[in-house]
Amino acid sequence: MQRILGKEANRASKNIAAERLRLVLMHDRLDLTPQMMDSLRSDILKVIADYLEIDESGMEIALQRSNNSIALVANIPVVKMKRLPASAG
């Protein structure tokens, strides 16, 4: 930890700024509208419904920002596994 912090302090501030700029812009541009979030949510549901029975009301999806990346995090409670036929389709 100390080593990482020490390194960070010695790094040219330009590099730190460039990295922060990259992340902040990625985040700003990724800011999906509530409508887009809703349709993403229902599309995910549609795909999953073929395989699992899930608790729709407990489903949470969000864009999460961490130190150096942005992730789409989904928490989808599974109620029941579906018994898939041996050869589907």
Partner 1 sequence: MGEVLVVTSGKGGVGKTTTTANIGTALAMMGYRVVLLDADIGLRNLDVVMGLENRIVYDLVDVTNGRCRLKQALIRDRRFESLLLLPAAQTKDKTAVNPEQMKALCDELKQESDYVLVDCPAGIEQGFKNAVAGADKALVVTTPEVSAVRDADRIIGLLQADTEMHHPLLIINRFRPQMVRRGDMLDVDDVNEHLAIELLGIVPEDESVIVSTNRGEPAVLNVNSRAGEAYRNISRRLMGEEVPFMDIESNGTFMGRIRRLLGMRTG
Nearest CB to partner 1, comparing residues 49 and 70: 70
Nearest in space to 37 (alpha carbons), one of 59, 53, 52, 22:
59
Is residue 35 within 8 A of residue 66, CB to CB? The reply is: no
Site mask for partner 1 (CB under 8 A), range 18-57, x = bound? x-xxx-xx--xx----------------------------
Nearest CB to partner 1, comparing residues 30 and 78: 30
Q: Would you count residue 13 as binding partner 1 (CB under 8 A)?
A: yes
